[in-house]
Structures are given as C-alpha cells and as structure tokens.
Amino acid sequence: MNRISVRAVLLLAVALLVAPTSSFAQDESNAVKDGGVFVKGWSGVVDVAEAAKGGKIEGSRFMQTEGVFRAVTGPSVSYWQTDQKADGSYSVMASFTEPEFKNLSSHSHPYGLFIGGNDMGTENQSLLYCMAYGSGKFIVRGFSPESFKLSGNSTTANDAINVASEDGASVSQDILISVTPDAVSCSINGTVVGTYPTADVVGAGKLKSTNGAFGLRFGHNVEATVTGFMLMK
C-alpha cells in the first residue's frame, strides 16, 4: 500500500470515529404545537444551548389537570414555582411517569428535579438537577452557567431505576433530592444513587448556593406526568 493510500485509510478511520451517529445527528428538539406554561404561579426557561439554537419556552408545553402536572417538550426545559424558594436543609420529591416510552424520540430522554436555582431565566442562571431515564440510567449535573457533571459519565446505570419493558410501554420513577449542610444526595425509587459533598456542588463554576428555586426538569422530546411534587423541611 503506497503512502497516499495509507493516508486515505487513516483519514477515513478518523472520520468514522468522530462522526456522529445518525440518531445523534437527527436528535434535534422538535417544538410542540400550542406550547407555553399553563400552570398559574409557575415559570419556565429553556436551556441556554437550546436558546442559542432558537429554542423557546413556547416550544414545550406545561399544564396541570386535577393536581397532575404534564409536560410535553420540544427543547429541554426547567419549570418552577415563581414565588417559592428552598433554604437550609430540605428535600424535594416527585413521582414521574412516562406514559409511552420514547413516543417522541427514537431513544430515551430524562425527567426529574432541580434545586439551587438562582438568577433563573438569565445568562447567569445556576441550578443542579437529578434526572432518570426509562432505559435504567440517571444523570446528576449542574449549570453555572456552564455545565458541570457530578455523576461521572454523562449517564450512569443503576438497578434501582425502572426500565420500560418495550417502546410504547409506561414507566415510572420516584425521585428525591435531599440537601444538608454537608452534602446533596439524589434517590430514585427509594435508593440513593449519588451523594455529593457540598464542596463539589457550591463554589466557583458551580452553584452559587443550594438555596434558591426548586422545580421540575425535562429533557428534550419527552412526555411525562408528575404527581406528589413537594418540598419537605
């Protein structure tokens, strides 16, 4: 094989390694019709990265019927009670149900809770979330405003997380975030999946504080209902 042929093969190999798969390349946020925030006293904001691509809060829909929240997302979005804050030691919990696994996408997208929301809706927004996937994985990550990871890889498998039996099946997760002076922990379906020292959560490039807004968070192209959302002191 001559030098030119070797170079061509090497370039092709590199291209195959770095090229996105077809599912990633096509994994754009698909704005829903008639979107917006339709729950009195609540606000919402899309991720900075989504906004940079033209994503708007009107591209996702958030509503409540008979005490049950329902979100259908285009862009990834966070929702919170505008006049509610958490401080000190506290826990936030909710039960999430994906009524039809992967009904808006070819692969799984997450849903869960966030805490430590400050400067919400601004370029300096910071928050920390724990979210579950119907594929049996979870992710703990923060924005400040750049993202910082706490759960190791972008997603982590855990046996405590319920797995949808098939595409189109329903799957549910109970999620709880607990805050103490020393640490922040996330539990899913009664099992602690991660505990993080406060020093890893609060500081330069991380959260301003674990005090602040708290609420619900949904990845893009996902539908979920939420019950039992509450703050506990």
Q: Concatenated DSSP letters for 162-193?
A: ---SSTT--EEEEEEEEE-SSEEEEEETTEEE
Residue closest to 60 by CA, chosen among 227, 232, 224, 228: 224
Q: What is the pLDDT of residue 48?
A: 87
Residue with tokens 């966030």: 114
- How far CA 38 is from CA of 34, 41, 168, 229, in Å, comes to 10, 9, 26, 17
Q: What is the pLDDT of residue 27?
A: 77
Q: What is the mean pLDDT of each run of 10 residues along the chain (233 residues)?
A: 46 40 58 97 94 95 97 98 97 98 94 97 94 97 91 88 97 98 98 97 96 98 98 97
- Cα within 13 Å of Cα(221), Cβ side: 13
Q: What is the pLDDT of residue 6?
A: 47
- How do the domains of the chain map onto residue ranges? 29-232
Point out which residues pair with 218 in neighbouring strands. 77, 111
CA 155, 193, 156 angle in degrees (round to 5)?
A: 15
pLDDT tens digits along 106-154: 999 999 999 999 999 998 999 999 999 999 999 999 999 889 989 876 7
The predicted model scores a pTM of 0.88
Q: Which CATH superfamily is domain 29-232 in?
A: Exo-inulinase; domain 1 (2.60.120.560)
